[in-house]
Structure 1
Amino acid sequence: MIEGPGHAQGARGLRDRAVLEVLYGAGLRVTECVALDVDDLRWDCDELTIRVVRGKGDKDRIVPIGTLGAAAVQRYLEVRHQLLIAPAPSLFLGRNGTRLSDRTVRELVYRRCKAVEAKVRVGPHGIRHSFATHLLLRGCDLRSIQEMLGHASLSSTQRYTKLDLGWLAAEYYRAHPRT
């Protein structure tokens, strides 16, 4: 996801990659991402789920993350100690060994967009929208997406999945058994 020019190397580069993969792979809000602790990771063989504690509305949820995200987190965990100054529960660490700030994550996303010469400036929330839209495009149902995003109402989830109504109608007619 983040290969290319401007990609930082070393522990910080692996952290940045893991942050971006978690944002996209789990569809987290930036505040949820920076609030993650190492103990919030749940490994089952090579599969990773993330426990989001105190999401919006103080709701906890378990969110799966894809294989690329899990691999990026695993690589980062192998070098995380290089960013530690004192023991810390935070998954993602900043320069001073404390929890990474949401501002730093936003700047990271904007820097990566600039480095790959993206035509539009995308922020962490845009990555969340992409997560939801891509799941829908691959056949995931709205209720499951709603749970992963931590939305209280389905209408909130529908707003995230901004798709062309013509495309949706074509998919419906293509897939519906009675058309």
Structure 2
Amino acid sequence: MGVKGANTVEPIRDPDQIREMKEHLLHKSYRDYFLFAFGINSGLRIGDILPLRVMDVASATHLRIKEQKTGKIRKVRMTVALQQEVAKYTKGLAASDYLFLSRQGNKPISRVMAWKIINEAARVVGIEGAIGTHTLRKTFGYHFYQRTKDVAMLQEIFGHSSPSITLRYIGINDDIINQAMEKFSL
């Protein structure tokens, strides 16, 4: 669904809350921690993350994926930190193993299970508001933009048609409007 649709989840803007989420998930389940870390450091949609296998990510600097939503083939550079997380997580796993293996057999966890993992962790650490699996992608985008201020590059990474769509998508427009209105007075 597009930016204007019902998908109104928010990015996690506060780095301390991201750290708290990581800590909580790491204590709960390494798989769940890795799902969160992978999502916020790759910028991929959950539908593109869940079917990944070890062979798709091990010993690679780039991911080559066919996006489920668009059908486009994308080559995505992994950060050095993400490469290190991948190496640690996949050690001892078979190349054909799913990264996010379900407890119900040889298949990845479902989107619903991924949502439950992220949502439950957010509630435990006190994050309020609309949180879901898309929060991972939006969190990546929000912090990428905050660090680089390069909306054109982020637009390209996300495959958006305009910078304004990208800014609205990651919640920057809301932040700017709220700041302006807070200071406005006649």
- Change in Cα spacing, 1:36 to 1:146, as seen in structure 2 (3 Å) is farther
Secondary structure of 1:58's counterpart equals coil
Q: Do 1:151 and 1:157's aligned partners in 2 also have CA atoms closer than 8 Å? A: yes
Q: Which residue of 1 aligns with 2:109?
A: 100
Task: Tell me the secondary structure at the aligned position of residue 3 of structure 1.
Answer: helix
Please give the root-mean-square deviation of Cα atoms over the aligned residues, in Å: 2.9
Determine helix, strand or coil for the equivalent of 1:117: coil
Contact (CA 8 Å) 1:52, 1:60: kept in 2 or not?
yes
- 2:30 counterpart (6, 14, 33): 14
Contact map agreement 1:7 1:112 (CA 8 A) in 2: no
TM-score scaled by structure 2?
0.70
Q: What SS class does the counterpart of residue 92 from structure 1 fall into? A: coil
Structure 2: segments with no counterpart, 5+ residues = 1-18, 181-186
Give me the whole-angstrom Cα distance separating, in 2, the residues matched to 1:27 and 1:134.
11
8 A Cα contact 2:59 2:87, kept in partner: no
Q: Which amino acid aligns with 2:176?
A: L
1:112 shift after superposition:
1.2
* Aligned mate of 1:71, from 73, 77, 84: 84
Match of 2:64 in 1: 51
Q: Answer yes or no: is the 8 Å Cα contact 2:26–2:32 preserved in 1.
A: no
Match of 2:24? 4
Q: Which sits farther off after the overlay, 114-123 or 150-159?
A: 150-159
Task: Output the TM-score relative to the length of structure 1.
Answer: 0.72
Residue pair 2:58, 2:86 contacting (<8 A) in 1 also:
no
